[in-house]
Structure 1
Amino acid sequence: MKKSLFVILIIVSSVSVFSQKNLNLDELAEKHTLKSMPLLYDLLSIPNDANFPEDIEKNIVWCEKEFQNRQFKTTRIETETVPLLLAERNVKKAKKTVLIYLQIDGQPVDTSKWHQANPYTPALKKPFNDSWEEIDWSNITSYEDDWRVFARSASDAKGPAAMFLAAIDAIDENKINPNFNMKVIMDFEEELGSPRLPKAVMENKELLKSDMLVIFDGPMHITNEPTLVFGARGIATATLTTYGPIVPQHSGHYGNYAPNPALRLAKLLASMKDDNGRVIIPGYYDGIELDETTQELLQAVPDDEEEIKERLQIAGTDNVGTYYQESIQYPSLNIRGMQSGWIDEEARTIVPSWARAELDLRLVLESDPERLISLIEDHIVEQGYYVIDRKPTKEERLKYDKIATFTHEVSYQSFRTDYSSEVGVWLRKALIKAFDKEPIMERMAGGSIPISPFVVTLGIPAVLVPTVNRDNNQHSPNENLRLGNYRLGIKSMISILSEEM
């Protein structure tokens, strides 16, 4: 009896090892692409603007159900607003614990700018005459790689979350048991800057304790080849407001007399950069040194600068760096939006009462964000402005000719991981197994994700595995996910989950 049981165990063990070594990743990814389409549709159909907590709760409940159905234990990590959600699945004799980051919330939507009735009703579309033609979902069984799903968060980042669940289904179906524990942390306020995340990580260090962090987020390299990204810039935001008359005035009566705040704001912003797009505030780029080894890593990324310019439809570029990868190694100072008076069909012949610019600063490890903010504020003062952090009073308006309101918030810092780190070596092996070629290795992404609280507080290395198409319109109307990327994303995740530590 005991001998028979031993033989059975040997056979089962052999089958498990065999199935991992001889897994047809392409067939498995194709099968679970189609099988997971209802799941992707359902997830994208739930409104997920973090400004509406009642909608976020629906997303949390959905994630709890789906992860629990896959033998994950779920825990809500409460914050002052909406919780984070942790899903855990342990294995016997695990060698490591991998923390996996998924983002579930999305940017707000302006339905008037979408080419479909509802951004939360996913639309299946195929290319047609340099545009897109919507087709019925019944066609999904014979989809083509260049067809796309249009919906808010299709790429950023519910698509990757659905890929992960599909990959879990694939390994479970094939009795593939990872030799590591999984902790999946789901963020529902990423698009708000994850303001509650640092405190939550600090207060739950033991619960989140892991050996490494894998982030399934972001677009692949512009070539759409398998990609690993070993860092990302942090982000801070600022709001700058200048003032004119207390209320808008008739431009015939008071033009040439009442100072125009829009002009003053434009000149103030222009004083911060030269014509090549470089910040000319003294000290802004201090501490950034790209040595020969770093330059070699950056230049190994196969960017086609002409193709990038063609996609962006720009004739030239800013010269913060001499090429794309170099440019994103520096902190940025970006005008993300401006407003004053009225434009288009609402334009009026007035001198505006105020002008406002919203700024964002993409941060790198070598730069202290508070120092950069101070440099900007000092520069505004040097341009002759009385700077405050609120609206000016009547007395201040009458006393100071030039007044600016300047407020800021630091969301999170940058992070960067060595290529030779354990997590980097493991992920590289998994992608080579999946695609039979080296992945593109990027030192840092230009965008920002709230990972530094995990890296700093938990003391673990982190690497991004981007899966979505770069031309996905994330943060904009008509966000989309290319179905070929969805399938290859599932393939990548199956390979990662089945790669031994």
Structure 2
Amino acid sequence: MNDNIQTYLKENRDAHLNELFELLSIPSISALPNHKEDVSHGASWVAAALKKIGMENVTIYPTKGHPVVYGDWLHAEGKPTILIYGHYDVQPVDPLHLWDSPPFEPDIRDEKLYARGASDDKGQTFMHLKALEAIFKTEGALPLNFKFCIEGEEEVGSPNLPAFVEENKELLAADVIVISDTGMLERGKPTICYGVRGLCGLQIDVKGANGDLHSGLYGGGIHNPINALVQLVNSFHNEHGEVIVEGFYEKVLSLTDEEKQAFSDLNFDEEKQRQELGVPALYGEKGYSYLERTWVRPTLDVNGIYGGFQGDGIKTVIPAEAHAKITCRLVPNQDPDEIVELLKQHIEVNKPAGVEVDITVFDKGAPYVTPFDHPAIQAASRAYEAVYRVPTSYTRGGGSLPIIATLDEVLHAPIVLMGFGLPTENFHAPNEHFHLENFDKGLETLCTYWFELEKSL
């Protein structure tokens, strides 16, 4: 990256932040029907921003849900094509009273930008636009060909994007896919996430009698759905934190020696993590470190469990039903559909007598890994190190980006996850924020990356 680009970014920092404020002010909450128009407004804003920086063929594509925004610039003759993916939708803001400033009124405090979407993912997606703008303004052209695919349903599992990608695979065809929707290990420590876990989720509904019953009159004579549900949930694990659903680990791939060394080089402090989380002890699958358990081992967790009387005091009833929401984080070689079937079989075998059990399947997404010695990943590493002046760390992500598997399966291009958020930035929680230090350095890193990638491919 030359000095002209760096100067341009510095001189236009305030203007860029003001533009980002506009985007962050749009309450594009994809999960809530009453924000449908706001999500549509978000798509229109992104389309206008793409046109402003010089993208062509900018189009807002409708889907069965929220729209996808596309744009491209394809005038780098003979050069590779990059597809940049991001999302303009955001999570709900509840509980609102825990926010120190209104979630859609961006506010800068202590060089941190507070707003819903600041880190996930409006802020990081916006940086890609401004990085290319800086190159355009100073160089007159881009070093590579670029395409954008910015969606409005990531926060609800991207239900309509797989079909869009399949139907438009020629439009989206690229040599490398770049996504900035992940984070760094910690402040000042640039990180490339070269893989993420997959996901499958389901709801278990346990039904007993045809209505709530008096626990004195009927207690001991019928099965309590909450007791039955607890018994069923308890059947998923043993005392060592291992999932005991038959076949659950059968296809799990082991870490390579190189990956084990990369993890070791991070010098992760488990005791510090324990203290930060405020728990008496870390817990998980026996025989694995905290990083292994959260990055490369599959999980099965209860995300919510409810039924019966929830108010103050006590109400002596046997509830008619109880419910639990379950998600599994999956690792390479595990198929979400297969895991769902294993869970269904386990539930059927372990279903307590005296109740009915129904299952509803929700989100599903496959895991993904790009070898971290790939040229596109190594170019990203060099770009990070040129700006942050420290070695780049390589991690696997514990979370899930379901669309990654679709992009991999349909477009057959390596995926580079270049994140600039920090784990402490409260994405999905009140007081979400983005450190402006990483906004500034992230812009420089992205500009540097495109020239490094031009030399590498």
Structure 2 counterpart of 1:414, from 357, 364, 367: 367
Partner of 2:397: 445
Output the aligned Cα RMSD: 2.2
The one-letter code sitting in structure 1 at the alignment partner of 2:447 is I
Which consecutive unaligned segments of at least 5 residues does structure 2 have?
none
CA distance in 2, matches of 1:95, 1:229: 25
Partner of 1:130: none
Structure 2 counterpart of 1:39, from 19, 23, 35: 19
Quote how far apart the aligned CAs of 1:403 are: 1.4
- Which shows bigger deviation, 244-253 or 322-331? 244-253
Q: Is the 8 A contact 2:60 2:70 kept in 1?
A: yes
Partner of 1:65: 48
CA distance in 2, matches of 1:261, 1:421: 52
CA distance in 1, matches of 2:314, 2:100: 29
Structure 2 counterpart of 1:349, from 313, 316, 319: 316
Instruction: Report runs of 4+ in structure 1 exceeding 6 Å deviation.
Output: none
Partner of 1:429: 382
Is 1:322 the counterpart of 2:306 in the alignment? no
Q: Is the 8 A contact 2:132 2:142 kept in 1?
A: no
Partner of 1:305: 270
Q: 1:247 to 1:118 in 2, by over 3 A?
A: farther
CA distance in 2, matches of 1:356, 1:214: 39
Superposed CA deviations along residues 449-492 of structure 1, whole A, max 9, x for unmatched, are 12111111111010100101211122222222222222222222
The one-letter code sitting in structure 2 at the alignment partner of 1:322 is Y
Q: 1:348 to 1:412 in 2, by over 3 A?
A: same
Structure 2 counterpart of 1:85, from 69, 84, 88: 69
Q: Is the 8 A contact 1:255 1:351 kept in 2?
A: yes
Partner of 1:404: 357
Structure 2 counterpart of 1:366, from 305, 324, 333: 333
- Which shows bigger deviation, 307-316 or 180-189? 307-316
Q: 1:349 to 1:474 in 2, by over 3 A?
A: farther
Quote how far apart the aligned CAs of 1:275 are: 2.9
Quote how far apart the aligned CAs of 1:62 are: 0.4
Q: 1:241 to 1:87 in 2, by over 3 A?
A: same
Partner of 1:338: 305
Superposed CA deviations along residues 275-302 of structure 1, whole A, max 9, x for unmatched, are 3322122221112223433322332334
The one-letter code sitting in structure 2 at the alignment partner of 1:238 is L
Quote how far apart the aligned CAs of 1:191 are: 1.1
Q: Is the 8 A contact 1:195 1:411 kept in 2?
A: no
Q: Is the 8 A contact 2:195 2:369 kept in 1?
A: yes
Q: 1:148 to 1:346 in 2, by over 3 A?
A: farther
Superposed CA deviations along residues 201-229 of structure 1, whole A, max 9, x for unmatched, are 11111100100111111221135411111
1:229 counterpart SS class? strand
Q: 1:223 to 1:124 in 2, by over 3 A?
A: closer
May I ask how many residue pairs the two structures share in their alignment?
Answer: 446
| TM-score (norm. length: structure 1) | 0.83
Q: Is the 8 A contact 2:195 2:397 kept in 1?
A: yes
CA distance in 2, matches of 1:35, 1:464: 27
CA distance in 1, matches of 2:214, 2:101: 40
Partner of 1:391: none
The one-letter code sitting in structure 2 at the alignment partner of 1:436 is R
Partner of 1:241: 205
Quote how far apart the aligned CAs of 1:30 are: 4.4
Percent identical pairs in the alignment equals 28
Superposed CA deviations along residues 378-414 of structure 1, whole A, max 9, x for unmatched, are 11122145xxxxxxxxxxxxxx712111121453211
Q: Is the 8 A contact 2:211 2:320 kept in 1?
A: yes
Q: Is the 8 A contact 2:189 2:390 kept in 1?
A: no
Structure 2 counterpart of 1:194, from 151, 155, 158: 158
Quote how far apart the aligned CAs of 1:358 are: 0.8
Q: How does 1:240-279 map to 2 (within 5 A)?
A: 240-279=204-243
| TM-score (norm. length: structure 2) | 0.91
Superposed CA deviations along residues 5-40 of structure 1, whole A, max 9, x for unmatched, are xxxxxxxxxxxxxxx444574x65544443312112
Partner of 1:491: 444
Which consecutive unaligned segments of at least 5 residues does structure 1 have?
1-19, 127-146, 386-399
Q: Is the 8 A contact 1:94 1:179 kept in 2?
A: no
Partner of 1:110: 94
Superposed CA deviations along residues 223-243 of structure 1, whole A, max 9, x for unmatched, are 541111111112111011112
2:344 counterpart SS class? helix
CA distance in 2, matches of 1:180, 1:282: 48
Quote how far apart the aligned CAs of 1:117 are: 6.1
CA distance in 1, matches of 2:49, 2:242: 47
Partner of 1:10: none
